[in-house]
């Protein structure tokens, strides 16, 4: 009986994790290429992004038109995405966290 429960929970976990893996393979930019940068280049790029963000914060935005504000907002969003990409790190999806918790419960 215990083996059947373990087998069933394993099958369910594999079923749900397969959907997560399939969803993670979607490419957001069709022309995205893998670019490798050295640590010094990454630091320089991050510093340039920080400098530009500080310049935007210091601007007087009350004099800008609606289109210029939209451009600044989209520029900030793109810089935020670049900074996240350069920062690296390990990201876990909610499904992966649930699977890890279930495995820990079953093992312990």
104 lies in some domain: yes
In whole angstroms, how large is the CA radius of gyration of the chain?
22
30 within a domain of the structure (yes/no)? no
Q: Is the separation of the CB atoms in 46 and 53 below 8 Å?
A: no
Residue 9 is assigned to a structural domain of this protein: no
Please give the pLDDT value at position 92.
76
Q: Which residues of the chain, if any, have pLDDT below 50?
A: 20-26
The total number of residues shown for the chain amounts to 108
**106 within some domain:** yes
Its domain, for residue 91, covers 38-108
Q: How many domains does the chain have?
A: 1
Residue 83 near residue 46, CB atoms below 8 Å: yes
For 98, counting Cβ atoms within 10 Å of its Cβ (0-12 exposed, 13-18 middle, 19+ buried), the class is middle
Q: pLDDT at position 22, please? A: 47
pLDDT tens for 18-49 read: 554 444 444 555 555 556 767 788 888 889 98
In-domain check, residue 33:
no
pLDDT value for 93:
84
């Amino acid at each position: 009986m215990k083996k059947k429960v373990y087998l069933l929970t394993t099958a369910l976990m594999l079923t749900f994790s397969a959907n997560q893996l399939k969803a993670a393979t979607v490419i957001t930019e069709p022309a995205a290429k893998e670019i490798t940068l050295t640590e010094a280049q990454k630091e320089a790029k991050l510093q340039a992004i920080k400098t530009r963000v500080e310049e935007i914060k210091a601007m007087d935005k009350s004099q800008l038109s609606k289109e210029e504000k939209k451009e600044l907002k989209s520029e900030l969003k793109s810089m935020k995405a670049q900074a996240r990409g350069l920062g690296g790190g390990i990201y876990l999806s909610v499904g992966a966290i649930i699977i890890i918790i279930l495995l820990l419960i079953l093992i312990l």
